[in-house]
Chain A
Amino acid sequence: AQKVTQAQTEISVVEKEDVTLDCVYETRDTTYYLFWYKQPPSGELVFLIRRNSFDEQNEISGRYSWNFQKSTSSFNFTITASQVVDSAVYFCALSEGSSGNTPLVFGKGTRLSVIA
C-alpha cells in the first residue's frame, strides 16, 4: 500500500532563511508519481509540481527546488530565501501504478510559518 510521511508538522523560519520540507514515501510499484501542493491561509489547494518515478532530476523553479532521491524514497522541497507569502501548509502526495489513475494519497502536511 502506498504511504506518504511528512514528519515535520510545523516549521517556523525567519524571512530570507532557506527551509526544506521533507517527504518520504512508500510504494511497491516501480512506476509512481509524486506531487507537492500548497494550501495558503485562504484554503485553496495549489498544485506545485509533479514528478514521475523515472525522472530523478532535481527541479528548480524560481525560489523553489525539489530533490527526488529514489534510494531514500524521498521527495524533499526547498524554499530559498523564504518570504512571508510562503506561509502555508504544504502537502506531499503519491499516486502509484503505471496507469497513473490511482487516487492521490496525501501526507499529513507541514505547516510553514515565515516570520518577517
Chain B
Amino acid sequence: DAGITQSPRHKVTETGTPVTLRCHQTENHRYMYWYRQDPGHGLRLIHYSYGVKDTDKGEVSDGYSVSRSKTEDFLLTLESATSSQTSVYFCAISESGTALDEKLFFGSGTQLSVL
C-alpha cells in the first residue's frame, strides 16, 4: 500500500474556526490532491499540487487554501469553517500525474464535522 497518512482522522469544530488537515506521504510522489466526498456529489477536487509550492485550484476551491512547502506534506486549510464544509476529505497522490502508467493512491480520509 502507498504510504499516505491523513491527520486527523476525525475532527469536530465550530463554525468560524480555522482548520488544517494534513496529508503526509512517504512515496516521494510529485502530485498530491485534496478531494471532498459528499452524498450525492461523489468526489470533487478541491486543490492539487504538482510540486513543491506549485498548486492549482479544483472544482470546489472556494473557502479552502493549500500549501506544500515540502514534497511529503500537503496541507488543506479552511480559513473559517462553515457547516457546508462538513464532509469527508481524501488526500491522494500520484507519481507522475499521468494516467499512462499511474493511478491515484488514496489516504484513509478525514471526517470533518463543522457545528
Question: Which residues of A does B touch, CB under 8 Å?
Answer: 6, 9, 33, 35, 43-45, 47, 50, 52, 91, 93, 95, 99-101, 103-109
Contacts and interface: CB of A to CB of B under 8 A. Distances in A.
Nearest to A107: B42
A105 to B, nearest CB: 7
Interface string B6-43: 00000000000000000000000001010100001111
B10 to A, nearest CB: 12
Contacts of A100: 97-100, 102
A25 to B, nearest CB: 13
B99 A95 contact: yes
Nearest to A48: B103
Q: Shortest 7 CB-CB distances between A and B: which pairs?
A: A101-B97, A33-B99, A100-B98, A108-B42, A100-B99, A45-B106, A106-B43
A91 B98 contact: no
B45 A103 contact: yes
Given A44-B108, A101-B50, A91 B100 contact: no
Contacts of A103: 33, 45, 48, 58
Contacts of B108: 43-44
B78 interface: no
Q: Chain B CB within 10 Å — which of A9, A45, A106, A107 has the most?
A: A45
A104 B105 CA distance: 12
B96 interface: yes
Contacts of A95: 99
Contacts of B90: 45
15 contacts: A6-B42, A9-B40, A33-B100, A43-B88, A44-B108, A47-B103, A47-B104, A91-B42, A99-B98, A100-B98, A101-B94, A101-B96, A103-B45, A108-B41, A109-B43
